[in-house]
Amino acid sequence: MIVPFIGRLSFADYWVILLVYLETLVASILALIPQPIFNFFGSIINYSVDIDDSTIEEKLRECPTIHEMCALFNISVEDHLVRTEDNYILTVHRIKPLPGTENGKVVYLHHGLLMCSDVWCCQTDRNKNLPFVLHDLGYEVWMGNNRGNKYSTAHLYHAPKSNKFWDFSIDEFAFFDIPNSIEFVLDFCQVEKLICIGFSQGSAQMFAAFSLNEKLNDKVSHFIAIAPAMTPKRLHNRIADTFAKSSPSLMYLFFGRNIILPSATTWQRTIHPKIFNKLIDIGNRILFNWKSSNITKEQKIACYAKLYSTTSVKSIVHWFQILRSQKFSMFEESDDMFNSLTRPYLVPTFPTRTNIRIPILLIYGGNDLLVDIKVMKRNLPATSVFDVKVDNHEHLDLIWGQYTDVLVISKVLKFIEFFDNIGANLLPSISRRDSSASEFGTTSRRRQTLTNSGKLLNAIPANTMRIVDNLSEPSATLTARVLSTPGSQARMSPLSQRRGSMMGLMENDPLRNNSSKLIPHEEGDNNNDEDDAIGPNEKIPDSESRISIEDTIAPEEQQPEIVDNLNTTSYNNEEEDDYDDAIADEDGEDDDEQAHNSFLDEDTIHQNRVQRRRLSRYLSNEP
């Protein structure tokens, strides 16, 4: 194959190519040195720089598997094996809820590129590990693993050393790994639906799987994509970006057709942790312009050791093809430049725009070069996708940053709770709740807050539930109060104050969809705010004004379907409905929404806008 970019490289570019081969040679030599020798010199370095091996970050770093990591937090993990349709053997990890805490719901989490399930459990603070928080709330938690990573290197017919074993890309993840793992979990738990959460490439795999497998949409209630990768714009480094876009197959020349970066584990056990972490930071800065300023040095010691797990070179080539075409497309076997100009066919793209029927929440960092949110939203359904932008945060910050409990986990929990309770809000029991609350002069919006700040969020300490959307200006962008926790009393501001501040809150709303316009609410004479207000020392009787979530949940067969048509109402008050209607009617539309809405009637379009506004206000904790 002719190398098409050879005339574009500078003298420095050739030095980079030479260094790649030199690194492979040095790593091969170091791999021959016994591990005890490295341990001996490592202990000398640790003693000289006064490193405490008893700290939680050092213990996490030294844990060989997820079992030891979870054991540090008194959580047990089970291994289960999944046989895919193409005969790979995958390991999925299960954290079952403690007896008496089960809520009957199942969550499936999937990791990103060059990772494994370890990445979900290596935060030094227990309450910042999403699986542990879900476990404490009574969810049954499952964590999947891609074929080829350290937990899934088995095949019925191919050895891990063969090229055939490593002949897979994102296509195989979408066709087999994701659907087969989800179906296994559903069969094991004997439930009809589960909740999916993906990080980075894990989100992309789920997008692809849901678009290719129509039946899979009926098995997932809602999907949260954290730092979702679909069509990255570019790489920060010019040399790497040139390689990726000119000829993705060049990766085969550097690394062969088996494992990508096979020497990474050798360097990890050879280099001192602080030096290794510094090299990771340099690499991330060069390739993606990530500064990792939101991840503490102590946290890096724990999590950077879990950053790499084996995968195929072909999967990296697939990402480079996507980077070059700027389309979330399937793998092209022959991708050299000359073939792309002369081929008589088009490489198919994943039909994510038309085939996904699941409510989706996108949580992305404002400084993440790998996430192009505008392109992503154009490739996803227009009416069931909501997004949260986390300012001043990058890709890895969203799972390992020091504010993940505030900025990510709280959003995940509220999104799950919102859709879980939509059905309950439509039941006849609402009238009972309204009549009970009306005796104490509470408004509809206050009743909604009292109902939805229930036991699901009580398990998290109050100081972790403050949602700050821009940490550089916390006083200006604080969009949430501390939610109620056991023993605390919810306090509400007068309705006039809440509406008066709504302009500023909505302008900073991280979930505003389709460039929505905001109109101020006109105060009327019939709004008696003082009558509706609850004083700071006024106590609301728990037995009557607080209606438990369980009291309003109908039998499953009576709950409406919300996936196909997100037009249900979550409030039961004419004043609140009129306000939401006014906001929705003034919401602007982008071209993509207009194209989608051309197939819908006006009433459905209006109700979809109202639904987006309500979820936006609920997730951002607007009063």
Residues labelled as active-site residues: 200, 368, 395
| Cβ-Cβ contacts under 8 Å for 224 (sequence gap 6 or more) | 195, 196, 197, 198, 360, 361, 363, 412, 415, 416
Pick from 564, 566, 497, 485: nearest CA to 532: 497
Judge whether 255 and 310 are in contact, CB under 8 Å. no
Question: Please, are residues 447 and 435 in contact by the beta-carbon 8 Å criterion?
Answer: no
Q: Which tokens in the block code for residue 312?
A: 């195929």
HSE, side-chain direction, 13 A CA sphere, residue 460: 30
Using alpha carbons, select from 64, 72, 113, 44 the residue that is nearest to residue 265.
64
CB distance 208 to 328 below 8 Å: yes
Is the distance from CB of 203 to CB of 227 less than 8 angstroms? yes
What is d(CA 399, CA 199) in angstroms, rounded to the nearest whole number?
8
Distance CA 294, CA 227 (A): 15
Question: Measured between alpha carbons, how far apart are the two ends of the chain, in Å?
Answer: 62
**Who's near 396: CB < 8 A, 6+ residues apart?**
227, 284, 290, 292, 295, 303
Q: Which residues pair with 83 in a beta bridge?
A: 89
Compute the Cα dihedral for 298, 302, 305, 311 and give only its sign: negative
Q: ∠ CA 551-553-556 to the nearest 5 degrees?
A: 145
Task: Specify burial of residue 599 (Cβ count, 10 A radius: 0-12, 13-18, 19+).
Answer: exposed
Enclosing H/E stretch for 186 = helix 178-189
Measured CA to CA in angstroms, residue 279 lies from 261, 290, 313, 438 at distances of 15, 13, 22, 62
CA angle 427, 106, 426 (to 5 degrees): 10
Q: Which amino acid is at 164?
A: K
Per-residue b or e along 441-475, where b marks 16 or more CB atoms closer than 10 Å to that residue's CB: ebbbbbbbbbbbbbebbbbbebebbbbbbbbeeee
Q: For residue 250, how far is the Cα from the chain centroid?
A: 31
What is the rounded radius of gyration, in angstroms, for the C-alpha atoms of the chain? Answer: 26
**Strand pairing report for 360-365 and 220-226:** parallel
SS3 call for 83: strand
What is the C-alpha separation between 134 and 410, in angstroms, rounded?
11
